[in-house]
Amino acid sequence: MAPSKDRRPGFSRRAQYSLFLAYILGIAGAVMGAALLALSTFQPAAFAMLRAGVAELTAPVSGAVATGVRWLAVIPDTVGSYILVHDENARLRAQAERNSRALVIGREAQLENVRLRRLLALRDRTGEVVVAARIVSTTASSTRRYGLLNAGSWQGVADGQPVSGPEGLIGRVLYTGPNTARVLLLTDAESVVPVYRLRDGRPALAAGRGDGLIDVRTIDTADGDFRPGDVFVTSGTGGIFVPGVPVARVLHKGTDSAPARPFARPSALDVAIVHRAFMPPPPAVPAPTPSPTPTKKPAADDEQ
């Protein structure tokens, strides 16, 4: 059934009560207003005290309402500031990431420059250079220690040629392919390099151990007197390795042998230089001394 179109309050008791309450409140407000008007006219002091009391009672409510209004008023500014700060933060993070990548690239370029300068110094100091190549892989985690160069026989690399890096001697070429060459590293158990000690020129042998280190051994029965920090370089004995290339530094004291760490670490190898095998000059042959020419005796006097 459709609701009645008669909107008069007589049909609803709730509407009657609401209308009656509105009348009561209106009449009460009018009476209170008239009373306050009369009080302010005839008793200003009493009206002032009443107004002060009402103000004391309503001050906390007014303060809370004002705080709420201010908080609501700053919501748009806060949201706008958050959006601006979020965008600025994202922009700064992107810029920091770009700067970080540029810093890493610059650091890599600086390290590469240092390594290339060392290679140039090594090339100027050592013998004839065959080729400069990259070590594309090493077997640093296996029992055998090999490295693979990205240059081979087509670039002039041959078996037995010494291989050096910016830090020192790496090893020698074991065998070659057209564009690759396998290098026997210093730390391999089959590697033996003639060396001598810088501080006194004492000859020794640097033999690989297969664990990333080298054993420096004496070549005679005398006490080697190996001390921590002793530096050994190639001696050129045997005609393969160019003399004067750093090989290893002694770690612990020893007599007949001592462990040493190679300057060229397999885990950090990247660029290498292949040299021609060093051939020491033949020993000088002393010039023969001329024999004295015999003096001819005077002929005997036939007349005597």
195: left (phi over 0), alpha (psi -120 to 50) or beta: beta
Taking residues 187-192, what's their average pLDDT?
A: 88
At 140, the pLDDT band (50, 70, 90 cuts) reads low
C-alpha–C-alpha distance, residues 233 and 222, integer Å:
20
pLDDT tens per residue across span 96-131:
777 777 776 666 666 656 655 655 555 555 557 888
Statement: residue 141 has pLDDT above 70? no
Q: What is the pLDDT of residue 205?
A: 92
Distances in whole angstroms, Cα of residue 74 to Cα of each of 61, 63, 64, 78, 119: 20, 16, 15, 6, 66
C-alpha–C-alpha distance, residues 65 and 71, integer Å:
10
The continuous run of DSSP H or E covering 108 comes out as: helix 44-125
Q: What is the pLDDT of residue 32?
A: 77
At 1, the pLDDT band (50, 70, 90 cuts) reads very low
What average pLDDT is seen over the chain? 76
Beta bridge partners of 261: 249
pLDDT tens per residue across span 227-283:
898 999 998 888 888 888 889 999 988 888 899 999 887 667 777 888 888 776 566
135: left (phi over 0), alpha (psi -120 to 50) or beta: beta
C-alpha–C-alpha distance, residues 172 and 187, integer Å:
11
Domain coordinates in residue numbering, the chain: 85-124, 130-275
pLDDT tens per residue across span 208-217:
888 888 999 9
Structure tokens given for 274: 């292949």
125 vs 195, residue with greater confidence: 195
Q: What is the pLDDT of residue 86?
A: 72
- Structure letter (DSSP) for residue 161: -
Domain 130-275: what homologous superfamily?
Rod shape-determining protein MreC, domain 1 (2.40.10.340)
b (16+ CB within 10 A) / e for 233-243: bbbbbeebbbb
pLDDT tens per residue across span 151-168:
888 988 998 889 888 788
